[in-house]
Amino acid sequence: MKNTYIPLNQVTIGKTCIVKNLKSSGIKRRRILDLGFIPNTKIKVIRRSPLGDPTAYLIRETMIALRKEEASKILVKVINN
């Protein structure tokens, strides 16, 4: 089975995934890393706002909301819950 990585913003609510790569650079990359989105970290997609943006993620026992633009730069692998 081929490892398929998808952007975090495409993971459905209730699914858990693991960070595999970041496509951003510079200050934006540093911010994402500072929030805890580092490789091999588990993330659970909790909920989306009524208009679909932002989305709340549970990462390291902390709820963090990201916009689609930011989440699209985080590549993840969905794992079975």
What is the residue extent of each domain of the chain? 6-79
> What is the token pair recorded at 51?
């208009």
* CATH topology assigned to domain 6-79: SH3 type barrels. (2.30.30)
pLDDT in tens, the chain (81 residues): 456 899 999 999 999 999 999 999 999 999 999 999 999 999 999 999 988 889 999 999 999 999 999 999 999 999 976
pTM of the model: 0.87
pLDDT at 52: 81
Q: How far apart are CA 25 and CA 53, in angstroms?
A: 22
Q: How far apart are CA 81 and CA 68, in angstroms?
A: 23
Coil, helix or strand at residue 81 = coil
